[in-house]
């Protein structure tokens, strides 16, 4: 964990280091990024990383934590409504966050790098930032399809729902070239509705056993 000091100046230095490091890690990756480039971009001396984060690896872990913690923690009690309405709200919240123009542009790139080539940072944030969201989606899917499908089917279903959402984050540049209207923030609400419609149709088929009977 970083050395947390309770004063505005120190907090501002940490914020600048995380933002600068996020930019550099997104551009160069963890191993090619240098402490010198990060500190120069943050406008601080090189000793600041050791003082606040101990080393580059720990700074990288905090960058991943910051990127993921910016996503609102959606909780079951806050969703409300029928299972279908709760899934729609869940998807809507995720899409709204992914299209939020206030989010740093480097966030998607560094998280994608970490998911593809994981380091210790992934395990460091798994239990408090990733697993709870995955469990909530698992529980929603299970409630929608009932007790019939096994856990393998539930896992496939929940990742199918999530993949539809994150496709629009990690493939935004491709979308701009092929279907630019799908990457436009003003269309995000309609996009969320269409993802929800498609997901609910698939989950209803799973609940009926259509997917298994088609094998």
33 vs 24: CA distance, rounded Å = 6
**What's residue 80's pLDDT?**
76
- Which residues, 6 or more positions from 38, have their beta carbon under 8 angstroms from its beta carbon? 17, 20, 21, 24, 49, 56, 59
Instruction: Give the model confidence (pLDDT) of 133-146 as tens digits.
Output: 999 999 999 999 99
Instruction: Give residue-wise pLDDT tens across range 121-168.
Output: 999 999 999 999 999 999 999 999 999 999 999 999 999 999 999 999
How many whole angstroms separate alpha carbon 211 and alpha carbon 153? 10
What is the Cα–Cα distance from 21 to 29, expressed in whole angstroms? 10
Structural domains of the chain in order of their starting residue, each with its CATH number: 8-68 (1.10.10.60), 74-213 (1.10.357.10)
Render pLDDT for 69-93 as a digit per residue (tens, 0 to 9). Answer: 877 666 665 677 899 999 999 999 9
pLDDT at 212: 54
Q: How far apart are CA 159 and CA 46, in angstroms?
A: 41
Torsion of Cα atoms, 17 then 20 then 26 then 30, to 10°: -40
**What pLDDT digit, counting tens, does each position of 4-40 carry?**
555 788 899 999 999 999 999 999 999 999 999 999 9
């Amino acid at each position: 964990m970083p050395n947390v000091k309770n004063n505005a100046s120190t907090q501002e230095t940490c914020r600048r280091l995380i933002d600068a490091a996020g930019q550099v890690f997104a551009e160069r990756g963890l191993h090619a990024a240098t402490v010198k480039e990060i500190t120069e971009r943050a406008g601080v001396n090189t000793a600041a990383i050791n003082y606040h984060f101990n080393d580059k690896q720990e700074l990288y872990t905090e960058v991943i934590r910051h990127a993921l913690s910016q996503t609102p923690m959606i909780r079951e009690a806050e969703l409300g409504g029928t299972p279908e309405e709760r899934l729609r709200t869940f998807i809507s919240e995720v899409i709204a966050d992914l299209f939020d123009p206030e989010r740093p542009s480097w966030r998607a790139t560094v998280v994608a790098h970490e998911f593809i080539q994981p380091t210790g940072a992934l395990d460091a944030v798994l239990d408090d930032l990733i697993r709870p969201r995955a469990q909530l989606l698992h529980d929603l899917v299970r409630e929608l399809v009932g007790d019939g499908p096994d856990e393998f089917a539930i896992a496939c279903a929940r990742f199918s729902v999530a993949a539809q959402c994150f496709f629009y984050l990690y493939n935004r540049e491709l979308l701009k070239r092929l279907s630019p209207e799908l990457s436009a923030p003003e269309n995000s609400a309609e996009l969320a509705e269409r993802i929800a419609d498609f997901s609910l149709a698939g989950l209803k088929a799973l609940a009926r056993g259509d997917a298994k009977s088609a094998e």
